[in-house]
Amino acid sequence: MVTQRGRARGQCCESSDLPLATLPSLFNPHERPKLVAPPRLVQSTDLVLERSMMFTLKVRSHQREELVEFTEQVAEKLKESGAQDGIVVLYVQHTTAGLTINENADPDVPRDMLHALRTLIPQHGMGFRHGEENSDAHIKASLTGPSVTVPFADGKLLLGRWQGIFLCEFDGGRERRVIMMIR
């Protein structure tokens, strides 16, 4: 193991104490081992943190149970940020709403998802104790989960052709807050 001491000052990946890995060549078994720098992310953790950006998106639902697509809102905010490559983390700050990524082409898909959840977990008749009478919404929110992560490149979300980002409303209609972190 050797270190990067000795590299010229001012190089982008300069560091006084990060080790360089010594790897054998994959192409020529007789070639001497080459020095390979560790991945830049390992060296540049502080820079990556500095580049993080955080926004709050507001997503409005109109029915008690509804899948509200807000892909465009996310894409626009990403464009505004000027970020080129990285990940977007979306996180909903509520206990009766979730987030998911699924088909946005046929509206019957979100309809059927809600239908299945409603059939599995009806609002009444299961002996729930919670006084707000929205235990079904709490359970559905935990099933869908509070966050999704989407990679992006060249400033564009790397969603599949039929994928959209949805707020899963289970106790609407109302305005929901979604934290959007870009890094």
Q: Which is nearer to Zn ion, 73 or 95 (by Cβ)? A: 95
Q: Which is nearer to Zn ion, 66 or 171 (by Cβ)? A: 171
Could you tell me the smallest distance in angstroms from the CB atom of residue 133 to Zn ion? 8
Q: Which is nearer to Zn ion, 112 or 132 (by Cβ)? A: 132
Secondary structure (DSSP) of the chain = -EESTTSPTT-TT--SSPEEEEE--SS-TTSPPEEEPPPHHHH-HHHHHHT-EEEEEEEE--SSSEEEE-HHHHHHHHHHHT--SEEEEEEE--SSEEEEEEE-S-THHHHHHHHHHHHHS-SSSS----TTS-HHHHHHHHHH-SEEEEEEETTEE---TTEEEEEEESS-SSEEEEEEEE-
Rounded to whole angstroms, the Cα distance separating 107 from 15 reads: 53
Could you tell me the smallest distance in angstroms from the CB atom of residue 137 to Zn ion? 7
Could you tell me the smallest distance in angstroms from the CB atom of residue 182 to Zn ion? 31
Site string for Zn ion, 83-122 (x = CB under 5 A): ----------------------------------------
Instruction: Answer yes or no whether residue 144 interacts with Zn ion by CB under 5 A.
Output: no
Site for Zn ion in 124-143 (CB under 5 A): 132, 134
Q: Which is nearer to Zn ion, 101 or 139 (by Cβ)? A: 139
Could you tell me the smallest distance in angstroms from the CB atom of residue 141 to Zn ion? 10
Q: Residues binding Zn ion: what is the number (CB under 5 A)? A: 2
**Which residues contact Zn ion (rule: CB under 5 A)?**
132, 134
